[in-house]
Structure 1
Amino acid sequence: MAVLVKLKNTREAKGYSQNELARRTGYSLQNIQKIEQGRAASITFEALGRFCKVLKCQPGDILEWEPDDIDDKSDLSLVDDFADDKAVALKGDSQKRPKHQAHMIVIDSNKGVA
């Protein structure tokens, strides 16, 4: 599963028991346990909103994306590669560009295409 539900970590960090979270959100204890144990097939935006309201947190405190395989992890490097290339271009350095690179064309009316 690529999206992890970190409800237990967030709940414990805020000092709530499963029973207290169930009572305050209106969900059953069994439902809270199922979500925390990773046995829930999905979580609705409504549930996520209730958890965030009670726990006074953001959705990112409860949900985390984790790449499943090497392709997912390498896709993340595209953002870093672009930032690195931009920094290199600003410094005027002629370092070799990374394998996964986003290209940018800058048009200067005085010099043509750079």
Structure 2
Amino acid sequence: MLVKLKKTREAKGLSQNELARKTGYSLQNIQKIEQGRAASITFDALGRFCEVLECQPGDILEWRPNNIDDKTGHSSNDEVLKTASEEVEGKSESPKSTKRQPHMIVIDANRGAA
């Protein structure tokens, strides 16, 4: 997943400090997201960024498959997306899935993998 928060923020003429103040997120969190050091982002955060920047989620996040398996032609991210879409559709059978859990978008499913 490619994070385009910095590009979108700069196009709107906002500094990181202004975005932090308007969204309620810390400057450090915004820097982490813009530098690609955040492992995930909640739908709530994405919604706040879109509201303040008057944009769509696709203006902030861009899907870029990586690690395509030569044998299957599938990305290593396919399973993450399948699980996420099942949770959104209410099909997940995971006992850990509850209505109180914040939904997250995984920015780099392979971060830290050996």
Counterpart residue identity of residue 30, structure 2? I
Alpha-carbon deviations, 1:29-86, whole Å to 9, x = none?
00100000011010000000000000000000000011213459xx6xxxxxxxxxxx
Q: Using the alignment, how far apart are the partners of 1:39 and 1:32 within structure 2?
A: 10
The share of aligned pairs that are identical, in percent, is 85
Which residue does 1:61 correspond to in 2? 59
Question: Aligned pair 1:29/2:24, yes or no?
Answer: no
User: If you compute each CA radius of gyration, which structure gives the higher value, 1 or 2?
Assistant: 1
Unaligned 5+ segments in structure 1 are 76-114
Q: How many residues align?
A: 73
Q: Using the alignment, how far apart are the partners of 2:6 and 2:62 within structure 1?
A: 13
Counterpart residue identity of residue 39, structure 1? R
Q: Using the alignment, how far apart are the partners of 1:64 and 1:28 within structure 2?
A: 23
Under a length normalisation based on structure 1, what TM-score does the superposition of the two structures give?
Answer: 0.59
Under a length normalisation based on structure 2, what TM-score does the superposition of the two structures give?
Answer: 0.59
Larger proportion of helix: 1
Counterpart residue identity of residue 13, structure 2? G
CA RMSD of aligned residues (A): 2.0
Tell me the CA shift for residue 10 of structure 1: 0.4
Which residue does 1:49 correspond to in 2? 47
Counterpart residue identity of residue 33, structure 1? Q
Alpha-carbon deviations, 1:7-44, whole Å to 9, x = none?
00100011000000000000000010000001101000
